[in-house]
Each structure stands twice: as structure tokens, then as C-alpha cells.
Amino acid sequence: MIKKIFLLLIMPSLLLSGCYYGNLSEDDDRPDYVVAIHGGAGWILKENISEEKEAAATAKLNEALEAAEKVLQNGGHAVEAVEAAINILENDPLFNAGKGAVLTAEGTAELDASIMNGEDQNAGAIAGVKHIKNPISAARLVMQKSKHVMLAGEGADNYAADNGLDTVPNAYFITEARAANYNKNHPDKAPVHKYGTVGCVALDSKGNLAAGTSTGGMSDKEYGRIGDSPIIGAGTYAHNETVAVSATGHGEWFIRHAVAHDIHAMVEYNRWTVERAADFIIHRKFKYYDVNGGVIVLGKSGNVAMPFNTPGMYRGYLKSTGEREVKLYGEE
């Protein structure tokens, strides 16, 4: 009888109500650790990229994953793993973060970054810094040492320098390739919205999630423009009970739709799976609004989604189970 009531009432209620689409995976299956990274979404097509560049990008993504893995294997916190991976990408001129950042309309590099600890929703962000070598480390410093979440401009540069982070002249960030692109494009005002933001999400052995994002922003941006990367809720979000998210793409749209927090909310309130929430943003909302970009999303059970709607996205993940993937292009 009870079985009959279940079949007649409760089963259809779950199926028909539209509220219980997916089942969050069980924690029993959670890998000891997981890390996923991106190096930006954009017009990344095999025919446009030399074999050397392809090999260099692949090697660097693997190096970043392994730097995070080393932290996680030693029982380190997810926040530490996120910082370690992003530092590798910031220091490499291939990516639009740290060294190799794109230039503002004024020809300078202005860097943004944010980091969030899913354990306690603590977060740190810096925007528009010009002299901190590793912006993600400055974001972590703000999170852990200051009473604030977000510092911008000279105040952020000074705070990081006063607390012992490495500083560099602005010219350190500016590679020959970016300078040539600036000179080529600036006189005729043809903006090149080159993306290449980097990000990382990690799950550590204690079940803590963390997310971080670092960028040089949009090329030819107005002086003082802040994109989504340093905005908690837009480019970065982490909550141990749901997901860690890092986004890349058209930052203004990500702010207006609070993309990273929205994915968290869909998992928390709708009980959607990580995959469903990420796909809804990238393949439904992006399509509707004609927006480009991608996200990496890591669920509390270790499942990874990395959807994008551009031709390619530098991306990769690895799990303690040995599962591993590094890819650059779409539909490989």
C-alpha cells in the first residue's frame, strides 16, 4: 500500500514538479582531491595556433595542475592549491594574467584577481594593480590579513607591497607581443578584445572548495575599468556545500548576471547538478544573450564541468583517482 502511494503520489511529484532534475553525487565517491584550471576562452582554433605554441600551452597547463596537485597531495588547503596553479600561469606570458597581460587604452597593464575559500566564504580581491608581480597572491593576502574583501588601485598596490609581496615595474608585465599589438591597434582605434584570463578551482582532502581568477582584463579597456575577475559572485565563487567557480569571457555580462554566484544558487536552490548549472549558463543564457565565454565548475563531490561556447578554451583537470585531461580546442 505504501509502495502504491509512493508510486502514485511521491514519484510523480518528483518527476513532474520540475524541481528534482538531478541528483547531487554521493560524497562516498569523492576523490581525495581534484583541481581544474582554465587559461581563457576565445578564438582558439587548431589552424591558428603553431605546434610550438600548442605544445607550450599544454605543458604550462600541466605544470599548473601539477603545482596544485603537489599542494593537495601534501594535505594542503584548496586555497593554497589555487594560488599555486595560478602563480604558474601568471608568470607565463602566454596568458592574459600577470606577465603578458593585455594593455589598457593608455598602454599600461592593470591587473585584477580574486580568490574565495568555500569553507567560510572568506574572500579577497584586488583590482587595477600595476606593480604586484602575482595578483592572485595579493588577493589571498587581502582575504587573510585585511579586514576588507576588495582593494583597488594604488591602495591595493601599497597594501601588498607593505606586506612583503614581490613588486615589479609596470613594464615587467608588458611583453613584446602585447606592445606590438597595442601599437598596431591603437592609432586606428580598432579594439582587440583579447581574452585569456586564468582561473583555478580545487577540492582538498578535507572537502574544502576554493576558486580563484586572475586577469589583465580586456585590451583597450578604459583606465580604471574593473571586469568580473575581481568581483566575488561574478568571476569567482566558492561554497563547500555546492561549487567552486571561475569564469572567463565578456566580463561586463558576467557582472550583470552574477554568473559565479548564480551557478552556486542553481545548485543550492534548484538542486541541479554541477553539469546542468554550468551548461544552463553557457549553452542557454549565453545563447539567448549572444555572449561568449566559459566557466570551470567543481562540485563538492569532485565532479568537474568546463563548458564554453567559443571555438576553444585552454583548460584541464586532474583528480587523485588518476583521471586527467588537458585540452585547448572545442569538440576534440
Binding site for a copy of itself (CB under 8 A): 8-10, 12-20, 116, 121-123, 127-128, 146-156, 158-159, 221-227, 231-234, 237, 251-252, 255-258, 261-262, 265-266, 269-270
Q: How far is the CB of 316 from a copy of itself (least distance, A)?
A: 28
- Give 191's contacts (C-beta < 8 A, 6+ positions apart): 185, 219, 220
Closest approach, Cβ 232 to a copy of itself, in A, equals: 5
3-class state of residue 86 by DSSP: helix
Catalytic residues: 197
Return all residues near 243 (Cβ < 8 A) that are at least 6 apart.
209, 237, 263, 264, 267, 274, 277, 297, 298, 299, 300
The dihedrals phi and psi of 275, each to the nearest 5 degrees, come to -65, -45
How would you classify residue 98: left for phi > 0, otherwise alpha for psi between -120 and 50, otherwise beta?
left
From residue 198, how far is each of 120, 127, 228, 229 by CA, in Å? Answer: 23, 15, 12, 9
Q: How far is the CB of 57 from a copy of itself (least distance, A)?
A: 29
Least gap, CB of 114 to a copy of itself (angstroms): 10
Q: Which is nearer to a copy of itself, 73 or 167 (CB)?
A: 167
Closer Cβ to a copy of itself, 257 or 327, answer by number:
257
Q: Which is nearer to a copy of itself, 104 or 310 (CB)?
A: 104
* Nearest CB to a copy of itself, comparing residues 233 and 312: 233
8-state DSSP, 7: I
Gyration radius (Cα) of the chain, Å: 20
DSSP per position, 154-219: HHHHHHHHHTT--B--GGGG--HHHHHHHHHHTTTT--------EEEEEE-TTS-EEEEEEE--ST
Nearest CB to a copy of itself, comparing residues 114 and 314? 114
Angle at 40 between CA 186 and CA 301, to 5 degrees: 160
CB of 12 to a copy of itself, least distance (A): 4
Residue 315, classed as helix, strand or coil, is strand
Nearest CB to a copy of itself, comparing residues 185 and 320: 185
**Which one-letter DSSP state was computed for residue 46?**
G
Q: Which three cell numbers stand for residue 151?
A: 582593494
CB of 197 to a copy of itself, least distance (A): 16
How far is 298 from 236, CA to CA, in rounded Å?
Answer: 12
The torsion of the CA quartet 145, 150, 154, 159, rounded to 10 degrees, works out to 0
